[in-house]
Structure 1
Amino acid sequence: MAGADDFVWPGADAQAEPSVPSAPPGTTPGAVPGAVPGAPGTMPPMMPGMMMPGLLPGMAMPGMMPGMMPGANPLMMASMMMPNPMMAMMMGGVGGAGMAAAEEKKAEESSKVETPIDGRVRELCREYGIEDRLMRKLNDVMMRRPDTFEEDLNTVRSRLSKERPDIGVLITQLDRGTFVTRGNIHPDMMAVVNKYKLDDRATQRLVESMRKRKKTMQEDLKAIDVRLASAERPSGLLMTLLQGLDTTGKLPAAPKSLGLPGSYGAEREEKEKERPKERDRDRGRDRERDREKKRSRSRSRGRRK
Protein backbone atom coordinates (compact mmCIF):
# COMPACT_ATOMS: atom_id res chain seq x y z
CA MET A 1 0.00 0.00 0.00
CA ALA A 2 1.30 3.34 -0.91
CA GLY A 3 2.22 5.64 1.88
CA ALA A 4 1.09 9.21 2.34
CA ASP A 5 4.41 10.35 1.12
CA ASP A 6 3.86 8.62 -2.18
CA PHE A 7 0.51 10.29 -2.82
CA VAL A 8 0.48 12.81 -5.57
CA TRP A 9 -2.16 15.48 -5.53
CA PRO A 10 -4.09 16.02 -8.66
CA GLY A 11 -2.70 18.85 -10.75
CA ALA A 12 0.62 18.81 -9.00
CA ASP A 13 3.64 18.16 -11.15
CA ALA A 14 6.36 15.98 -9.85
CA GLN A 15 9.35 18.01 -8.57
CA ALA A 16 12.15 17.87 -11.01
CA GLU A 17 15.56 16.76 -9.93
CA PRO A 18 18.07 19.62 -9.69
CA SER A 19 20.26 19.75 -12.70
CA VAL A 20 23.99 20.08 -12.54
CA PRO A 21 25.13 23.38 -14.08
CA SER A 22 27.06 22.95 -17.18
CA ALA A 23 30.63 24.09 -17.34
CA PRO A 24 31.34 27.24 -19.31
CA PRO A 25 32.79 26.84 -22.71
CA GLY A 26 36.49 26.13 -22.71
CA THR A 27 36.58 24.66 -19.23
CA THR A 28 37.04 21.15 -18.09
CA PRO A 29 33.92 19.40 -16.89
CA GLY A 30 33.80 19.26 -13.10
CA ALA A 31 35.72 22.48 -12.66
CA VAL A 32 34.37 24.99 -10.19
CA PRO A 33 32.78 28.03 -11.76
CA GLY A 34 35.01 31.07 -11.49
CA ALA A 35 38.18 29.03 -11.57
CA VAL A 36 41.04 29.92 -13.83
CA PRO A 37 40.46 28.39 -17.23
CA GLY A 38 42.64 25.40 -17.88
CA ALA A 39 43.30 24.72 -14.16
CA PRO A 40 41.16 21.75 -13.19
CA GLY A 41 39.88 21.76 -9.63
CA THR A 42 41.20 25.20 -8.78
CA MET A 43 39.34 27.49 -6.42
CA PRO A 44 38.66 31.16 -6.84
CA PRO A 45 40.85 33.50 -4.78
CA MET A 46 39.54 34.28 -1.31
CA MET A 47 40.03 37.23 1.04
CA PRO A 48 41.74 36.62 4.42
CA GLY A 49 39.32 35.27 6.96
CA MET A 50 36.85 33.89 4.35
CA MET A 51 35.60 30.36 4.69
CA MET A 52 36.01 27.85 1.97
CA PRO A 53 32.93 27.29 -0.19
CA GLY A 54 30.75 24.58 1.19
CA LEU A 55 31.96 25.01 4.79
CA LEU A 56 29.41 26.19 7.27
CA PRO A 57 30.33 28.55 10.11
CA GLY A 58 32.13 26.66 12.84
CA MET A 59 33.49 24.07 10.43
CA ALA A 60 37.15 24.01 9.47
CA MET A 61 39.67 21.83 7.85
CA PRO A 62 41.82 19.54 9.99
CA GLY A 63 44.70 21.47 11.65
CA MET A 64 43.20 24.76 10.64
CA MET A 65 42.53 27.46 13.25
CA PRO A 66 39.41 29.61 13.07
CA GLY A 67 39.82 32.61 10.78
CA MET A 68 42.93 31.17 9.10
CA MET A 69 43.50 31.27 5.40
CA PRO A 70 43.57 27.91 3.74
CA GLY A 71 47.15 26.77 3.31
CA ALA A 72 48.53 28.99 6.10
CA ASN A 73 51.10 27.53 8.49
CA PRO A 74 49.33 26.86 11.83
CA LEU A 75 52.58 27.07 13.83
CA MET A 76 53.39 30.47 12.40
CA MET A 77 49.88 31.72 13.07
CA ALA A 78 50.02 30.37 16.64
CA SER A 79 53.34 32.12 17.32
CA MET A 80 51.91 35.36 16.01
CA MET A 81 48.90 35.06 18.30
CA MET A 82 50.95 34.24 21.41
CA PRO A 83 51.86 37.18 23.74
CA ASN A 84 55.32 38.67 23.24
CA PRO A 85 57.16 38.66 26.62
CA MET A 86 59.76 41.20 25.43
CA MET A 87 57.05 43.58 24.32
CA ALA A 88 55.26 43.08 27.64
CA MET A 89 58.47 43.91 29.53
CA MET A 90 59.03 47.02 27.43
CA MET A 91 55.48 48.18 27.98
CA GLY A 92 55.77 47.47 31.69
CA GLY A 93 59.04 49.41 31.90
CA VAL A 94 57.56 52.37 30.08
CA GLY A 95 54.56 52.32 32.34
CA GLY A 96 56.70 52.06 35.49
CA ALA A 97 58.97 54.92 34.43
CA GLY A 98 55.96 57.05 33.63
CA MET A 99 54.42 56.38 37.02
CA ALA A 100 57.71 57.14 38.80
CA ALA A 101 58.07 60.42 36.91
CA ALA A 102 54.50 61.34 37.77
CA GLU A 103 55.09 60.60 41.47
CA GLU A 104 58.31 62.64 41.46
CA LYS A 105 56.59 65.56 39.79
CA LYS A 106 53.78 65.38 42.31
CA ALA A 107 56.29 65.41 45.19
CA GLU A 108 58.08 68.43 43.71
CA GLU A 109 54.83 70.30 43.33
CA SER A 110 53.87 69.55 46.91
CA SER A 111 57.30 70.75 48.13
CA LYS A 112 56.92 73.98 46.17
CA VAL A 113 53.89 74.99 48.17
CA GLU A 114 54.79 78.49 49.25
CA THR A 115 54.75 79.29 52.94
CA PRO A 116 52.74 82.39 53.79
CA ILE A 117 55.03 85.34 54.48
CA ASP A 118 54.92 86.59 58.04
CA GLY A 119 53.56 90.11 58.29
CA ARG A 120 56.54 91.29 60.34
CA VAL A 121 58.99 90.02 57.74
CA ARG A 122 56.98 91.65 54.96
CA GLU A 123 56.94 94.97 56.81
CA LEU A 124 60.71 94.79 57.41
CA CYS A 125 61.45 94.08 53.75
CA ARG A 126 59.18 96.88 52.55
CA GLU A 127 60.86 99.28 54.97
CA TYR A 128 64.34 98.55 53.54
CA GLY A 129 63.33 97.93 49.92
CA ILE A 130 64.15 94.22 49.81
CA GLU A 131 62.87 92.48 46.69
CA ASP A 132 60.23 89.76 46.85
CA ARG A 133 62.63 86.93 46.01
CA LEU A 134 64.93 87.74 48.95
CA MET A 135 61.93 88.48 51.16
CA ARG A 136 60.65 84.94 50.62
CA LYS A 137 64.09 83.43 51.36
CA LEU A 138 64.39 85.50 54.53
CA ASN A 139 60.93 84.41 55.62
CA ASP A 140 61.71 80.72 54.98
CA VAL A 141 64.94 80.68 57.04
CA MET A 142 63.40 82.65 59.88
CA MET A 143 60.40 80.32 60.03
CA ARG A 144 62.86 77.51 60.75
CA ARG A 145 64.09 79.40 63.85
CA PRO A 146 60.86 79.93 65.81
CA ASP A 147 62.61 80.04 69.21
CA THR A 148 64.73 83.07 68.24
CA PHE A 149 62.38 84.66 65.71
CA GLU A 150 61.89 87.95 67.55
CA GLU A 151 65.57 88.32 68.42
CA ASP A 152 66.61 87.44 64.88
CA LEU A 153 64.15 89.96 63.47
CA ASN A 154 65.47 92.75 65.71
CA THR A 155 69.09 91.91 64.85
CA VAL A 156 68.35 91.86 61.13
CA ARG A 157 66.61 95.22 61.44
CA SER A 158 69.60 96.64 63.33
CA ARG A 159 72.06 95.44 60.70
CA LEU A 160 69.98 96.65 57.79
CA SER A 161 69.89 100.12 59.32
CA LYS A 162 73.70 100.41 59.09
CA GLU A 163 75.86 101.29 56.11
CA ARG A 164 76.13 98.83 53.22
CA PRO A 165 73.94 96.09 54.64
CA ASP A 166 74.07 92.75 52.83
CA ILE A 167 70.79 90.90 53.20
CA GLY A 168 72.21 87.93 51.25
CA VAL A 169 74.93 87.40 53.88
CA LEU A 170 72.38 87.60 56.68
CA ILE A 171 70.15 85.02 55.00
CA THR A 172 73.13 82.67 54.54
CA GLN A 173 74.11 83.04 58.21
CA LEU A 174 70.54 82.33 59.31
CA ASP A 175 70.39 79.29 57.07
CA ARG A 176 73.73 77.85 58.29
CA GLY A 177 73.06 78.58 61.95
CA THR A 178 75.98 81.01 62.25
CA PHE A 179 73.81 84.08 62.68
CA VAL A 180 74.92 86.00 65.76
CA THR A 181 72.63 88.03 67.96
CA ARG A 182 73.73 89.96 71.00
CA GLY A 183 71.76 87.61 73.18
CA ASN A 184 73.86 84.55 72.28
CA ILE A 185 77.33 86.15 72.49
CA HIS A 186 79.57 85.14 75.41
CA PRO A 187 79.81 87.93 78.04
CA ASP A 188 83.61 88.16 77.70
CA MET A 189 83.33 88.59 73.94
CA MET A 190 80.49 91.05 74.40
CA ALA A 191 82.73 93.15 76.63
CA VAL A 192 85.29 93.48 73.81
CA VAL A 193 82.53 94.24 71.29
CA ASN A 194 81.09 97.03 73.42
CA LYS A 195 84.47 98.44 74.48
CA TYR A 196 85.71 98.94 70.91
CA LYS A 197 82.30 99.37 69.27
CA LEU A 198 82.98 96.60 66.78
CA ASP A 199 80.80 96.49 63.70
CA ASP A 200 78.61 93.51 62.82
CA ARG A 201 81.14 91.98 60.47
CA ALA A 202 83.95 92.05 63.04
CA THR A 203 81.60 90.80 65.75
CA GLN A 204 80.50 87.89 63.59
CA ARG A 205 84.12 86.99 62.82
CA LEU A 206 85.12 87.22 66.48
CA VAL A 207 82.35 84.84 67.53
CA GLU A 208 83.19 82.35 64.77
CA SER A 209 86.91 82.35 65.65
CA MET A 210 86.38 82.02 69.39
CA ARG A 211 83.98 79.11 68.93
CA LYS A 212 86.91 77.14 67.53
CA ARG A 213 89.20 78.11 70.44
CA LYS A 214 87.09 77.55 73.54
CA LYS A 215 90.07 76.31 75.58
CA THR A 216 92.18 79.41 74.90
CA MET A 217 89.37 81.95 74.50
CA GLN A 218 90.21 83.91 77.66
CA GLU A 219 93.89 84.29 76.73
CA ASP A 220 93.00 85.17 73.15
CA LEU A 221 90.55 87.87 74.24
CA LYS A 222 93.15 89.42 76.56
CA ALA A 223 95.72 89.51 73.74
CA ILE A 224 93.13 91.00 71.39
CA ASP A 225 92.25 93.63 73.97
CA VAL A 226 95.90 94.68 74.23
CA ARG A 227 96.27 94.96 70.44
CA LEU A 228 93.05 96.94 69.95
CA ALA A 229 93.77 99.39 72.77
CA SER A 230 95.43 102.06 70.57
CA ALA A 231 93.89 101.15 67.21
CA GLU A 232 92.14 103.87 65.25
CA ARG A 233 89.96 101.33 63.45
CA PRO A 234 89.52 98.42 65.84
CA SER A 235 87.09 96.52 63.60
CA GLY A 236 89.50 96.49 60.66
CA LEU A 237 92.47 95.54 62.82
CA LEU A 238 90.49 92.75 64.46
CA MET A 239 89.63 91.25 61.07
CA THR A 240 93.36 91.14 60.23
CA LEU A 241 94.27 89.62 63.58
CA LEU A 242 91.58 86.95 63.39
CA GLN A 243 92.58 86.03 59.86
CA GLY A 244 96.10 85.31 61.07
CA LEU A 245 94.78 83.47 64.12
CA ASP A 246 92.57 81.19 62.01
CA THR A 247 95.38 80.52 59.52
CA THR A 248 98.36 79.89 61.79
CA GLY A 249 96.71 79.19 65.13
CA LYS A 250 98.60 82.12 66.68
CA LEU A 251 97.48 85.69 67.13
CA PRO A 252 99.71 88.00 65.03
CA ALA A 253 101.65 90.78 66.67
CA ALA A 254 100.14 94.24 66.70
CA PRO A 255 101.25 96.68 63.96
CA LYS A 256 104.44 98.65 64.56
CA SER A 257 102.60 101.97 64.48
CA LEU A 258 100.74 101.13 67.68
CA GLY A 259 103.94 100.64 69.69
CA LEU A 260 102.18 98.21 71.98
CA PRO A 261 103.65 95.24 73.83
CA GLY A 262 103.64 92.43 71.35
CA SER A 263 103.69 94.78 68.35
CA TYR A 264 106.26 94.55 65.59
CA GLY A 265 108.06 97.66 66.87
CA ALA A 266 108.06 96.46 70.45
CA GLU A 267 109.41 93.09 69.41
CA ARG A 268 112.20 94.75 67.48
CA GLU A 269 113.09 96.96 70.42
CA GLU A 270 113.17 93.95 72.70
CA LYS A 271 115.47 92.18 70.29
CA GLU A 272 117.77 95.21 70.13
CA LYS A 273 117.97 95.26 73.90
CA GLU A 274 118.75 91.58 74.03
CA ARG A 275 121.55 91.79 71.46
CA PRO A 276 124.17 93.44 73.76
CA LYS A 277 123.41 90.87 76.41
CA GLU A 278 123.83 88.09 73.91
CA ARG A 279 127.11 89.60 72.75
CA ASP A 280 128.40 89.78 76.31
CA ARG A 281 127.39 86.18 76.82
CA ASP A 282 129.19 85.15 73.67
CA ARG A 283 132.34 87.02 74.74
CA GLY A 284 132.23 85.42 78.15
CA ARG A 285 131.93 82.00 76.58
CA ASP A 286 134.88 82.71 74.30
CA ARG A 287 137.02 83.81 77.25
CA GLU A 288 136.10 80.72 79.19
CA ARG A 289 137.09 78.56 76.26
CA ASP A 290 140.46 80.30 75.98
CA ARG A 291 141.12 79.76 79.67
CA GLU A 292 140.20 76.13 79.37
CA LYS A 293 142.61 75.68 76.50
CA LYS A 294 145.46 77.31 78.42
CA ARG A 295 144.84 75.08 81.43
CA SER A 296 144.84 71.96 79.33
CA ARG A 297 148.16 72.98 77.71
CA SER A 298 149.84 73.67 81.03
CA ARG A 299 148.74 70.30 82.36
CA SER A 300 150.09 68.48 79.34
CA ARG A 301 153.50 70.22 79.71
CA GLY A 302 153.73 69.29 83.40
CA ARG A 303 153.18 65.64 82.58
CA ARG A 304 155.97 65.63 80.01
CA LYS A 305 158.50 66.94 82.54
Structure 2
Amino acid sequence: MANGSRDIVYLGDAYSEFRHQMEAKGYAKATIRAYDSHVPEFICYLDDRNNGHIPYGLSRFPAFDVRKDHLIEWEGVLRLERNNRDTSIKTKIKSIRTFLYWCMDEDRGYCKYFRIPLPKAEERIKEPYSEKEIAAILAQPRTHDLSEWRNWAVINVILRTGLRRSSVCEMKWVDVDFERKRLLIRHSKNKQQYYVPLPQSAIEVLLIWREISPVTEGNFIFFSTYSEGRLSPNSLTQAIRAYNLKRGVKKTSVHLMRHTYATIYLRKGGRAEKLQRILGHKTREMTDRYVHLVAEDLTEGIDDYTI
Protein backbone atom coordinates (compact mmCIF):
# COMPACT_ATOMS: atom_id res chain seq x y z
CA MET A 1 0.00 0.00 0.00
CA ALA A 2 1.47 3.36 -1.00
CA ASN A 3 0.19 6.97 -0.84
CA GLY A 4 -3.13 5.73 0.52
CA SER A 5 -3.75 3.57 -2.55
CA ARG A 6 -4.09 -0.17 -2.60
CA ASP A 7 -3.23 -2.55 -5.40
CA ILE A 8 -6.06 -4.95 -6.16
CA VAL A 9 -5.26 -8.57 -5.30
CA TYR A 10 -7.79 -11.05 -6.58
CA LEU A 11 -8.69 -14.06 -4.48
CA GLY A 12 -7.65 -16.54 -7.16
CA ASP A 13 -4.18 -15.00 -7.38
CA ALA A 14 -3.90 -14.88 -3.58
CA TYR A 15 -4.78 -18.56 -3.36
CA SER A 16 -2.13 -19.46 -5.96
CA GLU A 17 0.44 -17.65 -3.82
CA PHE A 18 -0.86 -19.30 -0.64
CA ARG A 19 -0.71 -22.75 -2.20
CA HIS A 20 2.82 -22.22 -3.48
CA GLN A 21 3.93 -21.18 0.00
CA MET A 22 2.30 -24.25 1.58
CA GLU A 23 4.17 -26.50 -0.85
CA ALA A 24 7.45 -24.69 -0.14
CA LYS A 25 6.94 -25.25 3.59
CA GLY A 26 6.49 -28.97 3.02
CA TYR A 27 2.83 -29.27 3.94
CA ALA A 28 1.43 -32.76 3.48
CA LYS A 29 0.00 -33.47 0.02
CA ALA A 30 -3.29 -34.53 1.59
CA THR A 31 -3.57 -31.15 3.33
CA ILE A 32 -2.93 -29.27 0.09
CA ARG A 33 -5.47 -31.44 -1.71
CA ALA A 34 -8.03 -30.46 0.92
CA TYR A 35 -7.28 -26.77 0.36
CA ASP A 36 -7.57 -27.32 -3.42
CA SER A 37 -10.97 -28.88 -2.90
CA HIS A 38 -12.43 -26.36 -0.46
CA VAL A 39 -10.98 -22.91 -1.19
CA PRO A 40 -11.49 -22.63 -5.00
CA GLU A 41 -15.09 -23.79 -4.52
CA PHE A 42 -15.67 -20.78 -2.25
CA ILE A 43 -13.87 -18.40 -4.61
CA CYS A 44 -15.99 -19.59 -7.55
CA TYR A 45 -19.11 -18.97 -5.48
CA LEU A 46 -18.05 -15.36 -4.82
CA ASP A 47 -17.22 -14.83 -8.50
CA ASP A 48 -20.56 -16.26 -9.64
CA ARG A 49 -22.34 -14.17 -7.03
CA ASN A 50 -20.77 -10.87 -8.13
CA ASN A 51 -19.60 -11.29 -11.72
CA GLY A 52 -21.59 -14.14 -13.19
CA HIS A 53 -20.01 -17.48 -14.00
CA ILE A 54 -16.36 -17.18 -15.00
CA PRO A 55 -13.58 -19.82 -14.89
CA TYR A 56 -11.81 -20.15 -11.56
CA GLY A 57 -8.42 -19.26 -13.05
CA LEU A 58 -9.84 -15.88 -14.10
CA SER A 59 -11.19 -15.00 -10.66
CA ARG A 60 -11.95 -11.30 -10.37
CA PHE A 61 -13.22 -11.07 -6.81
CA PRO A 62 -10.98 -8.64 -4.88
CA ALA A 63 -9.55 -10.23 -1.75
CA PHE A 64 -10.04 -6.99 0.19
CA ASP A 65 -13.81 -7.17 -0.41
CA VAL A 66 -14.27 -10.49 1.42
CA ARG A 67 -16.46 -10.12 4.51
CA LYS A 68 -17.75 -12.33 7.28
CA ASP A 69 -21.20 -12.28 5.68
CA HIS A 70 -19.78 -14.11 2.67
CA LEU A 71 -18.75 -17.01 4.91
CA ILE A 72 -22.16 -17.08 6.54
CA GLU A 73 -23.84 -17.12 3.11
CA TRP A 74 -21.51 -19.87 1.89
CA GLU A 75 -22.25 -21.98 4.95
CA GLY A 76 -25.96 -21.66 4.15
CA VAL A 77 -25.41 -22.65 0.53
CA LEU A 78 -23.45 -25.73 1.56
CA ARG A 79 -26.11 -26.77 4.05
CA LEU A 80 -29.38 -25.87 2.31
CA GLU A 81 -28.58 -26.04 -1.41
CA ARG A 82 -25.77 -28.59 -1.61
CA ASN A 83 -26.91 -30.79 1.28
CA ASN A 84 -23.47 -31.00 2.90
CA ARG A 85 -23.32 -32.59 6.33
CA ASP A 86 -22.35 -30.50 9.35
CA THR A 87 -18.97 -32.18 9.67
CA SER A 88 -18.21 -31.57 5.98
CA ILE A 89 -19.22 -27.91 6.26
CA LYS A 90 -16.99 -27.44 9.29
CA THR A 91 -14.04 -29.00 7.43
CA LYS A 92 -14.54 -26.74 4.40
CA ILE A 93 -14.91 -23.56 6.46
CA LYS A 94 -11.78 -24.50 8.41
CA SER A 95 -9.75 -24.68 5.17
CA ILE A 96 -11.16 -21.36 3.95
CA ARG A 97 -10.47 -19.77 7.34
CA THR A 98 -6.82 -20.83 7.20
CA PHE A 99 -6.47 -19.27 3.75
CA LEU A 100 -8.24 -16.01 4.67
CA TYR A 101 -6.26 -15.60 7.89
CA TRP A 102 -3.15 -15.96 5.75
CA CYS A 103 -4.52 -13.18 3.52
CA MET A 104 -5.20 -11.04 6.59
CA ASP A 105 -1.62 -11.21 7.82
CA GLU A 106 -0.43 -7.65 8.40
CA ASP A 107 2.54 -8.13 6.08
CA ARG A 108 0.13 -8.86 3.22
CA GLY A 109 -3.06 -7.04 4.06
CA TYR A 110 -4.89 -8.69 1.18
CA CYS A 111 -8.02 -8.91 3.34
CA LYS A 112 -9.42 -6.72 6.04
CA TYR A 113 -9.30 -8.59 9.36
CA PHE A 114 -12.45 -10.19 10.72
CA ARG A 115 -12.97 -13.13 13.03
CA ILE A 116 -14.06 -16.41 11.43
CA PRO A 117 -15.68 -18.80 13.93
CA LEU A 118 -16.11 -22.42 12.91
CA PRO A 119 -19.70 -23.65 12.55
CA LYS A 120 -20.96 -25.97 15.22
CA ALA A 121 -21.16 -29.56 14.09
CA GLU A 122 -22.89 -32.30 16.00
CA GLU A 123 -20.23 -34.93 16.47
CA ARG A 124 -21.27 -38.54 16.54
CA ILE A 125 -19.30 -41.29 18.16
CA LYS A 126 -17.67 -43.49 15.57
CA GLU A 127 -18.34 -47.03 16.62
CA PRO A 128 -14.93 -48.55 17.33
CA TYR A 129 -13.99 -52.10 16.50
CA SER A 130 -15.78 -54.48 18.87
CA GLU A 131 -14.00 -57.03 21.03
CA LYS A 132 -15.13 -59.78 18.67
CA GLU A 133 -13.85 -57.89 15.62
CA ILE A 134 -10.55 -57.10 17.33
CA ALA A 135 -10.06 -60.75 18.23
CA ALA A 136 -10.72 -61.76 14.62
CA ILE A 137 -8.16 -59.41 13.06
CA LEU A 138 -5.51 -59.89 15.76
CA ALA A 139 -5.48 -63.70 15.47
CA GLN A 140 -2.21 -65.02 14.02
CA PRO A 141 -2.38 -66.08 10.37
CA ARG A 142 -2.45 -69.76 9.49
CA THR A 143 -0.71 -69.32 6.18
CA HIS A 144 2.71 -68.76 4.66
CA ASP A 145 1.46 -65.67 2.78
CA LEU A 146 3.89 -62.89 3.71
CA SER A 147 1.35 -60.18 2.88
CA GLU A 148 -1.14 -61.57 5.40
CA TRP A 149 1.53 -61.71 8.09
CA ARG A 150 2.48 -58.13 7.31
CA ASN A 151 -1.13 -56.96 7.53
CA TRP A 152 -1.54 -58.84 10.80
CA ALA A 153 1.55 -57.15 12.23
CA VAL A 154 0.42 -53.70 11.01
CA ILE A 155 -3.00 -54.06 12.64
CA ASN A 156 -1.47 -55.27 15.89
CA VAL A 157 0.85 -52.27 15.99
CA ILE A 158 -1.85 -49.69 15.21
CA LEU A 159 -4.37 -51.10 17.69
CA ARG A 160 -1.70 -51.10 20.39
CA THR A 161 -0.09 -47.73 19.68
CA GLY A 162 -2.67 -45.56 17.89
CA LEU A 163 -0.25 -44.75 15.06
CA ARG A 164 -1.40 -42.94 11.94
CA ARG A 165 -1.46 -44.83 8.66
CA SER A 166 1.22 -42.57 7.17
CA SER A 167 3.52 -43.06 10.16
CA VAL A 168 3.20 -46.85 9.91
CA CYS A 169 4.31 -46.73 6.28
CA GLU A 170 7.44 -44.75 7.23
CA MET A 171 8.52 -46.99 10.14
CA LYS A 172 12.09 -48.34 9.96
CA TRP A 173 13.79 -50.90 12.17
CA VAL A 174 16.43 -48.36 13.16
CA ASP A 175 13.67 -46.31 14.81
CA VAL A 176 12.59 -49.10 17.18
CA ASP A 177 14.21 -49.08 20.62
CA PHE A 178 13.30 -52.50 21.98
CA GLU A 179 15.19 -51.94 25.21
CA ARG A 180 13.41 -48.69 26.09
CA LYS A 181 10.14 -49.88 24.54
CA ARG A 182 9.60 -46.92 22.27
CA LEU A 183 9.37 -46.00 18.60
CA LEU A 184 10.72 -42.80 17.03
CA ILE A 185 8.21 -41.21 14.66
CA ARG A 186 10.23 -39.21 12.15
CA HIS A 187 7.40 -38.33 9.78
CA SER A 188 4.32 -36.93 11.49
CA LYS A 189 1.35 -34.83 10.38
CA ASN A 190 2.61 -31.76 12.26
CA LYS A 191 6.18 -32.19 10.94
CA GLN A 192 7.59 -32.85 14.42
CA GLN A 193 9.44 -35.95 15.58
CA TYR A 194 8.29 -37.68 18.73
CA TYR A 195 8.43 -41.01 20.55
CA VAL A 196 5.55 -43.45 20.88
CA PRO A 197 5.64 -45.98 23.74
CA LEU A 198 5.55 -49.64 22.68
CA PRO A 199 3.64 -52.02 24.95
CA GLN A 200 5.13 -55.49 25.34
CA SER A 201 2.38 -57.00 23.16
CA ALA A 202 3.40 -54.76 20.25
CA ILE A 203 7.08 -55.57 20.77
CA GLU A 204 6.36 -59.30 20.64
CA VAL A 205 4.50 -58.88 17.35
CA LEU A 206 7.34 -56.82 15.86
CA LEU A 207 9.86 -59.49 16.86
CA ILE A 208 7.78 -62.19 15.20
CA TRP A 209 7.47 -60.09 12.04
CA ARG A 210 11.20 -59.32 12.01
CA GLU A 211 11.97 -63.03 12.23
CA ILE A 212 9.94 -63.94 9.13
CA SER A 213 10.33 -60.82 6.95
CA PRO A 214 13.27 -60.17 4.61
CA VAL A 215 15.65 -57.28 5.08
CA THR A 216 14.74 -54.62 2.52
CA GLU A 217 16.97 -52.00 0.96
CA GLY A 218 15.05 -49.14 2.58
CA ASN A 219 15.03 -50.86 5.98
CA PHE A 220 11.26 -50.31 6.19
CA ILE A 221 9.46 -52.43 8.77
CA PHE A 222 6.34 -52.72 6.64
CA PHE A 223 6.92 -52.80 2.89
CA SER A 224 5.31 -53.81 -0.38
CA THR A 225 5.61 -57.57 -0.57
CA TYR A 226 5.77 -57.26 -4.36
CA SER A 227 8.60 -54.76 -4.75
CA GLU A 228 10.01 -54.76 -1.20
CA GLY A 229 9.89 -50.97 -1.50
CA ARG A 230 8.01 -48.41 0.53
CA LEU A 231 4.37 -49.28 1.23
CA SER A 232 2.08 -46.40 0.25
CA PRO A 233 -0.79 -45.37 2.57
CA ASN A 234 -3.33 -46.13 -0.17
CA SER A 235 -1.90 -49.60 -0.74
CA LEU A 236 -2.03 -50.23 2.99
CA THR A 237 -5.67 -49.14 3.10
CA GLN A 238 -6.60 -51.59 0.33
CA ALA A 239 -4.59 -54.40 1.90
CA ILE A 240 -6.24 -53.96 5.31
CA ARG A 241 -9.68 -53.80 3.71
CA ALA A 242 -9.17 -57.15 1.97
CA TYR A 243 -7.61 -58.65 5.12
CA ASN A 244 -10.53 -57.63 7.36
CA LEU A 245 -13.22 -58.75 4.95
CA LYS A 246 -11.51 -62.12 4.55
CA ARG A 247 -11.78 -62.53 8.33
CA GLY A 248 -15.46 -61.62 8.38
CA VAL A 249 -15.01 -58.08 9.72
CA LYS A 250 -17.06 -55.51 7.83
CA LYS A 251 -15.26 -52.53 9.37
CA THR A 252 -12.18 -51.89 7.24
CA SER A 253 -10.99 -48.37 8.18
CA VAL A 254 -7.35 -48.09 9.21
CA HIS A 255 -8.06 -44.74 10.89
CA LEU A 256 -10.84 -46.37 12.90
CA MET A 257 -8.15 -48.57 14.48
CA ARG A 258 -6.47 -45.40 15.77
CA HIS A 259 -9.85 -44.21 17.04
CA THR A 260 -10.39 -47.60 18.69
CA TYR A 261 -7.02 -47.34 20.45
CA ALA A 262 -7.88 -43.89 21.82
CA THR A 263 -11.33 -45.02 22.94
CA ILE A 264 -10.01 -48.08 24.77
CA TYR A 265 -7.20 -46.04 26.31
CA LEU A 266 -9.63 -43.51 27.80
CA ARG A 267 -12.19 -46.10 28.86
CA LYS A 268 -9.46 -47.85 30.84
CA GLY A 269 -8.67 -44.65 32.70
CA GLY A 270 -5.79 -43.28 30.63
CA ARG A 271 -5.00 -39.57 31.00
CA ALA A 272 -5.87 -37.21 28.15
CA GLU A 273 -2.53 -35.35 28.52
CA LYS A 274 -0.60 -38.55 27.89
CA LEU A 275 -2.91 -39.61 25.06
CA GLN A 276 -2.21 -36.30 23.32
CA ARG A 277 1.52 -37.09 23.29
CA ILE A 278 0.98 -40.68 22.19
CA LEU A 279 -1.27 -39.70 19.29
CA GLY A 280 1.03 -36.86 18.26
CA HIS A 281 -1.64 -34.16 18.47
CA LYS A 282 -0.11 -30.69 18.30
CA THR A 283 -2.87 -29.23 20.47
CA ARG A 284 -5.39 -30.59 22.96
CA GLU A 285 -8.32 -29.72 20.69
CA MET A 286 -8.26 -33.01 18.78
CA THR A 287 -7.59 -35.10 21.87
CA ASP A 288 -10.46 -33.41 23.69
CA ARG A 289 -12.79 -34.66 20.94
CA TYR A 290 -12.02 -38.22 22.01
CA VAL A 291 -12.45 -37.28 25.68
CA HIS A 292 -15.81 -35.65 24.99
CA LEU A 293 -17.12 -38.46 22.81
CA VAL A 294 -16.05 -41.20 25.19
CA ALA A 295 -17.62 -39.30 28.10
CA GLU A 296 -20.88 -39.09 26.13
CA ASP A 297 -20.62 -42.81 25.39
CA LEU A 298 -20.10 -43.72 29.04
CA THR A 299 -23.00 -41.53 30.14
CA GLU A 300 -25.48 -43.04 27.71
CA GLY A 301 -27.87 -45.43 29.49
CA ILE A 302 -26.23 -44.91 32.90
CA ASP A 303 -29.65 -44.72 34.61
CA ASP A 304 -30.22 -48.34 33.66
CA TYR A 305 -27.26 -49.46 35.77
CA THR A 306 -27.79 -47.48 38.99
CA ILE A 307 -29.97 -47.86 42.08
TM-score normalised by the chain length of structure 1: 0.19
Q: Looking at both structures, which has the greater relative contact order when contacts are Cα pairs under 8 Å and sequence separation is at least 6?
A: 2
